[in-house]
Amino acid sequence: MSEKIRAPWLSIVLAGLLAFVLSLVITTATVFVYAMTLAIKAQGPPNPDQIAAFANRYMPFLGGLVLSLVVLIAARWVARRAKPIQLWYGVLVGLVAALPTVMFIRRADIRELISLILPAFAGWLGGLWGARTVKNEDLSRIAPVG
């Protein structure tokens, strides 16, 4: 009897949203650490203009990079749990993680478009990584000893 293949939708959505939230926390913590460093150097309140300049210059790039790295790990987790393993589950994790970013786009330029495409690519890589990990574990179980 053939079984229906069901995608782990709950895992995909939760992993994607968790990846988005975790990337926000990491980028916010980065700005916070920078502000604390400025405060320590100034031995008083930090300069808000320097903090804003730092956030405007580096956070769009760092945010996309951090989101992609977190999606890579989340997609690996989903791909390892899925039976049977499908690489497009990782892509879906990346797309779910990138969707909330659309709310923050003011104007669509090339940097914003890349930040939307990178998580999907990272999800595909994470799915591939998870599939290979499971395949290698399965092979090690059936490999003859000795």
Q: So where are the chain's domains? A: 9-140
State pTM to two decimals. Answer: 0.80
CA 129, CA 146: separation in Å to the nearest integer?
28
Per-residue pLDDT tens digits of the chain, which is 146 residues long = 445 566 688 888 999 999 999 999 999 999 999 999 999 998 888 888 998 999 988 887 888 899 999 999 999 998 888 777 677 888 999 999 988 887 777 777 787 777 788 998 999 999 888 887 766 665 454 444 44
CA 122, CA 73: separation in Å to the nearest integer?
9
CA 16, CA 12: separation in Å to the nearest integer?
6
